[in-house]
Amino acid sequence: MMQRKQVEPGRKIEIALRVIPQAFNYATVPYWLSFGGLWALIRNNGIIPDGDFDMCTYYGHDFKRIEKAFRGVPGHYVMTKAIVDDTNKDKALYCAYSSQEGYLHICLSFWYLHDGIRYYCHDQHHEVEGVGVPQSGYFFRGVPAYCVEDNPNNFRMVEWPGINQQYKIRVPRAAGVMLDHLYPDWAYKKQHYEVKPGVIIEDKMVSYHRGGAISPYEVHVSSMNDWKNEGHVKRELEKSKEKWLIRLKNGK
């Protein structure tokens, strides 16, 4: 088996910033950065907490076309798994891509629109090998749809600190609103890293705690058909908003 080469951290970021626009533009699919990568870029001077890039697009785009696009970019990216819609397995909710040359992993969430909220689903990726449906159903969290409305004016290309300025990443103009929504202030304060000057990624972390994104819009469905059951969705949202308020009050 060929051993992966060691890649300097800043080089990993640069390659990701180079290949992501290439792949999505080739597939003619809109995209944006979110979750840990967006937090790193906006709040943490470009230092990524978990060593991968969390990309997003809209539910319904052809994940097989995107897979083909990633195979054609530098880094020899291959799709390692995909969570698919149980009612239409040609539609994905989450895909993961791994570089055979040791570059950053790229994760892609397909955001589902329901009643003014864009929902993402990726927590069940450990339940899927290859392409499949998670046994425990789909756990969704959401943000207001206006944050990522499909309009070019709602996004901008941003330079990454410490990286060649010709390589940029697409982010929502409402990035600050999204981060305040997904990672409230108390969550930021629980991010602690051992950081060396000039290092883009530092694998050695101390007092590391990352509780993940939270949302007042959380919905669990056993099947994607459950989105048609408005009573079920309403009950799920009522429970999630109660939990959200408790977490905000307790700061955990």
pLDDT tens, residue by residue, 99-116: 988 888 999 999 999 999
From the list 121, 90, 108, 118, the residue with the least C-alpha distance to 29 is 108
Query: How is residue 121 written in tokens?
Result: 């689903």
pLDDT over 80 at 59, yes or no: yes
pLDDT tens, residue by residue, 154-176: 999 999 988 878 889 999 999 98
pTM: 0.87
pLDDT tens, residue by residue, 214-249: 788 999 999 999 999 999 999 999 999 998 888 777
pLDDT over 60 at 76, yes or no: yes
Model pLDDT, residue 85: 97
Higher pLDDT, 187 or 151: 151
Which pLDDT band holds residue 202 (cuts at 50, 70, 90)? very low
Q: Count of CB atoms within 10 A of residue 245's CB?
A: 11
Mean pLDDT of 184-202: 48
Mean pLDDT of 128-140: 93
pLDDT tens, residue by residue, 11-46: 788 889 999 999 999 999 999 999 888 988 887 777
3-state SS, the chain, equals: CCCCCCCCHHHHHHHHHHHHHHHHHHHCCCCEECHHHHHHHHHCCCCCCCCEEEEEEECCCCHHHHHHHHHCCCCCEEEEEEEEECCEEEEEEEEEEEECCCCCEEEEEEEEEECCEEEECCCCHHHCCEEECCCCCEEEEEEEHHHHCCCHHHEEEEECCCCCCCCEEEEECCHHHHHHHHCCHHHHHCCCCCCCCCCCCCCCCCCCCCCCCCCCCEEEECCHHHHHCHHHHHHHHHHHHHHHHHHHHHCC
